[in-house]
Amino acid sequence: MARREILTRFNPVHLRVVMDEAALRRMIGNPSIMAEQMKHLLHMAKMPNVDVQVLPFSAGSHAALVAPFSILEFPEQLDLPIIHVGTVVDSVFFEQPKDVARYSATFGDIQGTALSTTQSARFIADVLTSLESDG
């Protein structure tokens, strides 16, 4: 809940997410739990500081298949971006400019391949509709 607060506070952070279609399709819990998750995702995606894009299965192979990652950017110009990669046992942070540049290029690639935010919202709504008809 505390992490969620940074998206709704005064002067919130900007969150850009590209999520693989598998994250929407893999059943965690049951259809009603998944439907609630889709509703929340759609609600958050309507916020002006949140961009959600779906990378559909039809996009095929992509550069981020190996490991999910996060790019953390900071408001202060002197605080350079860092990359966070979660592993099974730990987290790894990359701070070297060449590493940050590679991950930034990868993110740009998958962002350009993903559905637009509008198309993604429709896609998520369609997944929600199918979950509600299953539940």
Contact residues for 31 (Cβ-Cβ < 8 A; gap 6+): 131, 132, 134, 135
Let me know: does 69 contact 103? Beta carbons within 8 Å: yes
Element (H, E) at 92: strand 91-94
Structure tokens given for 100: 């940050």
Q: What is the CA radius of gyration of the chain?
A: 16
- Written as tens digits, the pLDDT of the chain (135 aa) is 777 788 989 989 999 999 999 999 999 989 999 999 999 999 999 999 999 999 999 998 887 777 889 999 988 888 999 999 988 899 999 999 999 999 999 999 999 999 999 999 999 999 999 999 875
Domains in the chain: boundaries: 1-56+115-135, 57-113
**CA 1 to each of CA 8, 52, 67, 86: distance values in angstroms, whole numbers, following the listed order:** 11, 19, 25, 20
Contact residues for 16 (Cβ-Cβ < 8 A; gap 6+): 51, 53, 111
pTM for the full predicted model = 0.89
